[in-house]
Structure 1
Amino acid sequence: MALSKDEITQDMFEPAEIESGKEEEIATESLNFWQDAFRRLRRQKAPMAGLVVILAIVAMAFIGPYFSPADSIDEQNLLRSNLPPKISWLQDVGWLPFTGENAQGVDMYESKSVDENYWFGADELGRDLWIRVWEGTKLSLLIGLVAGVGDIIIGVIYGGISGYFGGRVDEFMERIIEILIGIPQLVLMILLIVVMEPGIVPIMFAIMFTGWITQARIVRGQTLQLKTQEFTLAARALGANHGRIIRKHIIPNTIGMIIITMMFSIPNAIFAEAFLSFIGLGVPAPEASLGSLINEGFKQIQFHPYQALFPGILISLLLLAFNIFGDGLRDALDPKMRK
């Protein structure tokens, strides 16, 4: 039964008993932005699985070649030309392509008197595909990483200057971006490589030349928003110069978006290199990348499909893992996703 206002007296209330020193005790662990983001990232199974796949492939790219019976990536031996894959402890599993037999069921290792097992087989020149696939993965990762970092550096500088100064500077710089966007990226990359001749450095340059545009537009949009925030206006009122405001206030507040974009730039660069290599404008022989290996295997796909199978699986895993991990990283770094 509810009491009326006149029936409520002071004697009905007693002060709560609080232990001394615990009046304002923090109940949960204190975390900064990065610790909180990493904790939320760990809770997502798919992105963590993608990270494990990426780390496993990177590790195998460095240690995998040491398990090859061949001494180098371009060591040729026509005796083992077009040898199918063979792994001794898996050759009894008929549905796996590691029996060492050709399409007619003939053990090619016995017929050619080859004692070593080539886990991924050999190409038409007798080169071990195991070492070539992992060395090719290493080169593809290197191209993707360098091109991705280059995209970030160019895009952050360009987009930061354009968004921060605004006005005619922003209008002029945006017109340049619009012109570059109007040209298809693949066409521009092909033209650049044709002019500079195929090679690792020209491929990196061509990918960076077209890949920074997305990063620049993202940084520009973030900068336009941040330069009107109170902390930026306060720094300007206290006499901070433009360089300090950009370095200390603008860029640190866009670092999350920069990292997320970089995680998508790396697989895009790997795919671009694979495409260029597939059409014959990529890494020159005897070097190998995943794209050039797929190109070589595609020529033999009717009779020796395994030569395109293994590099195709690896590049698919890399692209899938990077994209899944990038999605999880975006959710972890986005303050709107906090629960």
Structure 2
Amino acid sequence: MIVSRSFWADARRRFVKNRMAMIGCFFVVLIFLFAAFGGVFAQYNIEEIDWSLLGKVETEGGPNLTNGHWFGVDELGRDLYARVVQGTRVSLLVGFVAGITSVMIGSIFGAIAGYYGGRTDQFIMAAYNITLSIPYIIFFVVWQAFFGRSVTQMVLVMILINWTAGLLITRGQVMTLKNREFVDAARMLGLSDLKIIARHILPNMLWVIVIYTSITIPDAIMMESLVSFLGVGIQEPQTSWGALISEGASTMTYGTLWQLMFPALFFAVNQISLYYIGDGLRDALDPKER
């Protein structure tokens, strides 16, 4: 007997069979566990200075299991392990919240533009083009000059910059779906445009939104790390992968390579894993790959 599978059941089976995607999931879970529970094993807090190592960071500030500095200390004598835990939390928080929210907003506006067309479409696409024309580094600097530098402000400004994520692909899909028979039937039953979009159009393109979200999240983490690396992102006492990498890169000529190695390793493993997960979701959910 042939057992039929739903679209999502088949997609789950295809995703689980993707070895690289599953390896990526494994490493992302480990990084999340590190962010959630890594602080339990820290011997120092993020602002505590080990005065015994000041002036001797280059020679005695490296990773050491004896004194409790698992990843060594930074140039100010602060425990790098505790700061990497904090940086991991901040980067993941900013990347996932800003990435998911941006795709949701972009998908909603894309669905509205594609469904209504006309002046509504022209207005939304004009806002889309204006947003793309604004250099986001300058936008970061101006925003933070007015509202300050914090994790909350970082999330808000990244959402404002990336609100167009998924807009074009959602708009194109809706323009195709809005003339299908099931949408015409919903109109004949008297459903409002909002209910048609929410109940009949968006669920039929959920796979597109999931794929685009899996791509946007690592891009958001990359953007946050880049602006923090350039010094216009997360501010002390908060930190992130980008800020830690920037600090490590500025002191690597003195031989303190561990200050760059550990945050860069977490950043690279996370990004590579997320991109493999995105590829796995695309292969599993794209109907063309079935």
Q: TM-score range by the shorter chain?
A: over 0.9
Is the 1:78–1:125 Cα contact (8 Å) retained in structure 2? no
Deviation of the 1:228 alpha carbon: 0.9
Return the alpha-carbon distance in structure 2 between the equivalents of residues 327 and 298 of structure 1: 31
Identity of aligned residues (%): 37
Question: 1:278 touches 1:291 (CA, 8 Å); kept in 2?
Answer: yes
TM-score, with normalisation over the residues of structure 1? 0.80
Aligned-partner Cα distance in 1 for 2:180–2:164: 25
Structure 1 residue 152: deviation in Å?
2.1
The alignment status of 1:325 with 2:272, answered yes or no, reads no
Q: Which moved more, 1:192-201 or 1:244-253?
A: 192-201
Contact 1:85 1:120 in 2 (8 A): yes
The match for 1:38 is 12
- Of residues 49, 54, 65, the one that matches 2:23 is 49
Cα contact 1:297–1:305 (8 A) shared by 2:
yes
- Match for residue 15 of structure 1? none
1:190·1:276 contact (CA, 8 Å) conserved in 2?
no
Q: Which runs of 5 or more residues in structure 2 are unaligned?
A: none
Deviation of 1:301 (Å): 0.9
Q: Which residue type is aligned with residue 84 of structure 1? A: G
User: What RMSD over aligned residues (CA atoms) do the two structures have, in Å?
Assistant: 1.5
Once the two structures are TM-superposed, the CA of residue 182 in structure 1 deviates from its matched residue by 2.2
Contact persistence 2:103–2:165 (CA under 8 A): no
Q: List alignment gaps of at least 5 residues for structure 1.
A: 1-26, 88-114
1:74 is matched with: 47
Number of equivalences: 284
Q: 1:307 to 1:46 in 2, by over 3 A?
A: same
CA contact (8 A) 1:148 1:269 kept: yes
* Deviating 4+ runs (over 6 angstroms): none
Distance 1:86 1:129 in 2: 11
Whose relative contact order is higher, 1 or 2, with alpha carbons under 8 Å and at least 6 apart? 2
Change (3 A) 1:227 1:213: same
Structure 2 equivalent of residue 314 of structure 1: 266
Structure number with higher helix proportion: 2
For the Cα contact (< 8 Å) 1:235–1:245, is it kept in 2?
A: yes
Instruction: Using structure 2 for the length normalisation, give the TM-score.
Output: 0.93
Q: Which moved more, 1:125-134 or 1:78-87?
A: 78-87
User: Cα deviation per residue 1:161-217 (whole Å; 9 max; x = unaligned)?
Assistant: 111111111112111211222223333333323332222122111211111213111
How much does 1:149 deviate? 2.1
